[in-house]
Structure 1
Amino acid sequence: MSQIPENPSASEGIERALERGLFASRWLMAPFYVGLMIGLLALMIVFVRDLVGFMVKVPTAKEADVILGVLTLIDLSLAGNLVIMVVFSGYENFVSKMEHVTHRDRPEWMGSIDFSALKLKLLASIVAISAIHLLKAFMNVGAMTDREMTWLVVIHVTFVVSGVLLALTDKLSGSAK
């Protein structure tokens, strides 16, 4: 049985070139993060619009309407925080470290959130946003059907259970290492 002699230098060169190309492809994610920052700008515009509309109505608003207005602002703020977490940690985990950003206000978690922790933080934010939507729905209970309310509760419980299961899975896999 004759073996075909391999040219190790040629195959190693191809392998290195392929690996460099694959590694460089991580930069394809950068435009996604720029797009998310544009989405954050859109959230800010909606926040300012809602804040101005809310402040105009406050002097004559009922207490429940003020609470709903504040909950809407909190909801938008949480969504903005979610975008920032995804952009910063996603960029640092998958594209490049932000080593050149040495501002004194740099968040402590930057550079230290791994993918598992990011998933938990994202799910916690989603649960919080879902809880705010649910609370707003309960405060406007007459505006929704029983079926719609049931679905909101089911969706929220699904998010909560998913978060608990994800945390348990991460804890179990961490203890197995």
Structure 2
Amino acid sequence: MKRLELAIESIILASRWLLVAFYLGLGVALAIYTASFGKKLVEFVSAALTLGDTDTILKMLGLIDAALVASLVVMVIISGYENFVSRFDEHDGKVHWLGTIDVGSLKVKVASTIVAISSIHLLQVFLNHAFYTTDQLMWLTIMHLAFVVSALMLASIDRLMGLGKSKKAEAE
């Protein structure tokens, strides 16, 4: 019976390697998104001298938005692999936060990035407010506020969990 238990545990533990397909897929998606960013950048550069201030800001916000999305994908790939699959071997160009982000911290970072992306999108909408109805502006603002509240709640929960862990460590 113990051999069966050990075999099942080995299979379950080995199944974490299936996540590698997801992280590699995200890497491919990131490469595709990089091409999309390049296209936006070329369009911006080619029209830079003819754009007005508002259009220039909108184009730059689009590029910033793309950079935040790409950073989010990289953070999920690296942190997810590190937390769920395997530790990275030592590398000279090692990212300073590698190995220090647990699942709770990753959720907070993801939520914070989503809030930043939502903020940029909302700013773009406000700069183009003439193209939106009052109801659309209201609902976009409400959705953004929902992201903000969710991020704050996740951060609060993560902080409470951290306080609980430190009190438990002090008691031991």
TM-score category of the 2 structures, normalised to the smaller one: over 0.9
Q: Secondary structure at the match of 1:111?
A: coil
Distance 1:147 1:54 in 2: 31
Runs of 4+ aligned residues of structure 1 deviating over 3 Å after TM superposition are none
Residues of 1 paired with 2:126 and 2:149: CA distance?
21
Q: Distance in 1 between matches of 2:136 and 2:47?
A: 28
Find the aligned partners of 1:68 and 1:14 in 2 and give their Cα distance.
60
Matched residues, percent identical?
42
Note the alpha carbon deviations across 1:64-106, whole angstroms, 9 max, x for none.
100000000000000000000000000111111111x512x22
Q: Tell me, what secondary structure is at the counterpart of 1:59?
A: coil
Q: Number of paired residues?
A: 165
Larger radius of gyration: 1
Which residues of 2 match residues 162-177 of structure 1 at below 5 A? 162-177=150-165
- 1: CA distance, partners of 2:50 / 2:131: 21
1:113-168 deviation per Cα after TM superposition (whole angstroms, max 9, x unaligned): 10011000000000000000000000000111111111110111001001111111
Structure 1 position 48 matched with structure 2 position 38: yes
1:134 aligns with 2:122: yes
1:102 aligns with 2:91: yes
Provide structure 1 residue ranges, at least 5 long, that are not aligned to the other structure.
1-10
Aligned to 1:78: 68
**Which segments of 5 or more consecutive residues in structure 2 lack a partner in the other structure?**
166-172
Q: Distance between the aligned counterparts of 2:133 and 2:27, measured in 1?
A: 36
How many angstroms does 1:174 deviate by? 2.2
Cα distance in 2 for residues equivalent to 1:52 and 1:170: 41
Report the secondary structure of 2:96's partner residue: coil
Do structure 1's residue 36 and structure 2's residue 40 form an aligned pair? Answer: no
Q: Helix, strand or coil: the match of 2:49? A: helix
Structure 1 residue 176 displacement after superposition: 2.4
Matched AA of 2:48? V
The whole-number CA distance in structure 1 between the counterparts of 2:32 and 2:123 is: 24
**Other-structure match for 2:169:** none
Specify the code of the residue in structure 1 equivalent to 2:154. Answer: L
| 2-structure distance, mates of 1:98, 1:59 | 46
Aligned to 1:17: 7
| Superposition CA RMSD, Å | 0.9
The 2-side partners of 1:22 and 1:110 are apart by 25
Corresponding residue of 1:117:
105
